[in-house]
């Protein structure tokens, strides 16, 4: 109700009447409001995912270095930060634990970014690679990384197919599969190529760094945002389906439409019969035009014929007449019975 009141406060001028519930204009406004709420939720979810990416940061931001920094610059920057944030430099005992944690993160950033193999893996899978053991080559990182992504795509495609078979996700099904396939192709290209995706280097990052204060996205951050965006988009499509999908006639609505057609046909047949009956009656009365006595006599005979052949022949009328005659004979003399 709050959203409806807010919409009417913006869309309707002061003093103009608001549409009443149930009217076509009211339903149209409700449809617009629901669509707007779903789209705003989609945008907010994307913003929230991007906010979490910025809060978590990355090794380049920890060292305050550009993403194309070379090994010499990385080591120089680490030595400068280590001289400031080394735990031995902290005087307060309360801050010693935080300083040690921060220094360990700086050391991990320096060790990862100065190793070309680990740097390749970190840019594509993020800090999760620090938990991967006994891996020494780019090929090993790619194989392990693809295996970690496999369950996500395999489980998602199985769920989508199952929901489609049981009758859900019918509207926009083609676009769901197309977008899902494009996401898988982009991720595979991003994870397996020695260079960053052109979509990231030529489109997204230039826009972010030129028009906003957003730091450039690393490939693993870009893929995390893409996952969140796509799956939120699928949820939004499911919510928007009642407003855009064509209505499918149900059995009850089909039966009602059939009954309505039958009633219309019966009404047309009754009207045609009435017209034909009037025409035949006018033909029968044509010889008596101008003869009031003859018309009166004809109407009397027709009335008598209807009574004799229609009313008295009805079983219920005959039974009623018989019961009335029996009641009249009760108590009469024997000869009168």
- What does the pLDDT read at residue 216? 92
Mean pLDDT along residues 44-63: 91
Separation between Cα atoms, residue 9 and residue 241, nearest integer Å: 27
Range with the poorest average pLDDT among 13-27, 157-171, 248-262, 311-325: 248-262
Residue 232 has pLDDT above 60, yes or no: yes
Mean of the per-residue pLDDT values for the chain? 80
Residue 256 has pLDDT above 90, yes or no: no
Tokens 């982009």 locate to 186
Range with the poorest average pLDDT among 96-110, 157-171, 259-273: 259-273
How far is CA 324 from each of CA 38, 223, 314, 319, 327, rounded to the nearest angstrom?
Answer: 76, 96, 16, 9, 5
More confident residue, 168 or 174: 174
Q: Which residues contact 237 (CB under 8 A, 6 or more apart)?
A: 171, 172, 175, 176
Kindly state the percentage of the chain with pLDDT values over 90. 30
pLDDT class of 8 with cuts at 50, 70, 90:
low
Provide the 3-class DSSP secondary structure of residue 271: helix
Total count of residues recorded for the chain = 337
pLDDT in tens, 276-318: 666 666 666 666 666 677 667 777 776 676 666 665 566 666 6
pTM exceeds 0.75 for this model = no
Residue 158 has pLDDT above 70, yes or no: yes
Residue 18 has pLDDT above 80, yes or no: no
- What does the pLDDT read at residue 288? 61
Cβ-based burial of 171 (10 A; exposed 0-12, middle 13-18, buried ≥19): middle
- What does the pLDDT read at residue 113? 95
Separation between Cα atoms, residue 205 and residue 67, nearest integer Å: 11
Alpha-carbon Rg for the chain, nearest whole angstrom, is 43
DSSP 294-317: HHHHHHHHHHHHHIIIIITTSHHH
- What does the pLDDT read at residue 248? 54
Q: Which residues contact 141 (CB under 8 A, 6 or more apart)?
A: 117, 120, 121, 124, 125, 129, 132, 135
Q: Dihedral sign for Cα 43, 45, 46, 48, please.
A: positive
pLDDT in tens, 63-90: 999 999 999 999 999 999 988 888 887 6
Q: Which residues contact 197 (CB under 8 A, 6 or more apart)?
A: 186, 189, 190, 219, 222
The two tokens of residue 159 are 């769920």
Provide the 3-class DSSP secondary structure of residue 200: helix
Closest CA to 221 of 54, 105, 10: 54
Residue 321 has pLDDT above 70, yes or no: no
Residue 58 has pLDDT above 90, yes or no: yes
Separation between Cα atoms, residue 74 and residue 147, nearest integer Å: 31
Residue 198 has pLDDT above 60, yes or no: yes
- What does the pLDDT read at residue 2? 65
pLDDT in tens, 124-155: 999 999 998 888 899 999 999 998 888 888 88
């Amino acid at each position: 109700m709050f959203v409806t009141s807010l919409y009417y406060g913006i869309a309707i001028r002061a003093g103009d009447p608001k549409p009443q519930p149930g009217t076509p204009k009211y339903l149209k406004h409700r449809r617009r409001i629901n669509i707007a709420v779903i789209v705003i939720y989609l945008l907010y979810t994307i913003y929230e995912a991007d906010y979490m990416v910025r809060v978590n940061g990355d090794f380049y931001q920890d060292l305050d270095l550009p993403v194309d920094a070379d090994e010499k610059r990385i080591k120089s920057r680490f030595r400068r930060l280590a001289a400031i944030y080394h735990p031995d430099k902290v005087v307060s005992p309360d801050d010693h634990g935080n300083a040690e944690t921060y220094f360990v993160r700086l050391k991990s950033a320096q060790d990862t970014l100065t190793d070309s193999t680990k740097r390749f893996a970190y840019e594509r899978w993020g800090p999760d690679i620090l938990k991967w053991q006994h891996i020494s080559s780019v090929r090993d990182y790619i194989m392990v990384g693809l295996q970690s992504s496999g369950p996500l795509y395999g489980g998602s495609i199985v769920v989508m197919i199952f929901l489609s078979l049981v009758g859900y996700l019918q509207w926009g099904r083609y676009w769901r599969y197309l977008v899902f396939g494009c996401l898988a192709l982009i991720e595979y290209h991003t994870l397996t190529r020695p260079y960053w995706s052109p979509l990231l280097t030529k489109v997204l990052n230039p826009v972010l760094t030129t028009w906003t204060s957003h730091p450039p996205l690393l490939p693993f951050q870009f893929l995390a945002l893409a996952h969140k965006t796509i799956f939120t988009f699928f949820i939004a499509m499911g919510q928007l389906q009642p407003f855009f999908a064509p209505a499918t006639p149900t059995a009850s609505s089909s039966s009602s439409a059939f009954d309505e057609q039958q009633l219309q046909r019966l009404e047309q047949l009754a009207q045609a019969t009435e017209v034909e009956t009037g025409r035949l009656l006018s033909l029968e009365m044509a010889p008596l035009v101008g003869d009031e006595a003859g018309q009166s006599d004809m109407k009397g005979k027709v009335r008598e014929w209807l009574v004799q052949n229609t009313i008295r022949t009805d079983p219920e009328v005959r039974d009623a007449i018989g019961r009335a005659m029996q009641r009249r004979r009760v108590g009469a003399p024997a000869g009168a019975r």
